[in-house]
Amino acid sequence: MRIPLTPHGTRELILFGGAFVLAAIALWQWHPAAAIVPAALFLFVLSFFRDPERPLPGGSEVAVAPADGLVVDIDEVDEPHFIGGKALRVGIYLSVFNVHVNRAPLDGAITGVRYTEGAFHDVRKPECITDNEANLVGFSGPRGVFAVRQIAGLVARRIIFPFQDGAHVTRGQRMGMIKFGSRTELFVPANAGVEVLVTLGQKVKGAATPMLRYPS
């Protein structure tokens, strides 16, 4: 069975995956049981960079999850950069076992990208939101403005976002990833009148889980 993999993991798959395979082969010749650990690590690296196809739910009025993971925040915050005021924020925590490819929640054109260097706190801690390395991307589309923030975590040390200002994305389209444990947030204007379709603690899948529904 073929496992679909993201091209953003090619380097790690060659370096780490290759090293674990060679270690497993060498240890197998010494003692088969000793090969279990490097073999398991190889499978972990392979699993981390998986990139499955996902069916899109609903129509253009439905914003889909921008990442796999656990919904940890549904609240109202200030987002002055791209929303320009109060915003509804839905935060998703990604463990190292989740798919880490990010997806566009809606159709839109990129209006700006704000990358900030920072710390690498555990993304389950509140200070990660203000202190960690992050990439905030603004969009404008048929449903108005929205934003997605990629936040690096304790293990994650690289945020990938391969688009520039003015590029267009479509709902569910792949748009980079965060490597090894992270957090992804979706922002929409608080007055957009959206219906929240997820609950705290719910597991979601990028591009496949409906997050918000805009009024018709």
75 three-state secondary structure = strand
Size of the chain, expressed as the number of residues it contains: 216
* Backbone CA torsion sign across 88, 93, 98, 101: positive
Q: Determine the residue type at 135.
A: N
The answer to whether 216 is a known catalytic residue is: no
State how far the Cα of 197 lies from the Cα of 158, in Å rounded to an integer.
Answer: 30
Catalytic residue (one of 60, 140, 182, 216): 182
Q: Are 89 and 41 in contact (CB under 8 A)?
A: no
153 three-state secondary structure = coil
3-state DSSP helix/strand/coil percent for the chain, to nearest 5? 20, 40, 40
- Residues labelled as active-site residues: 182
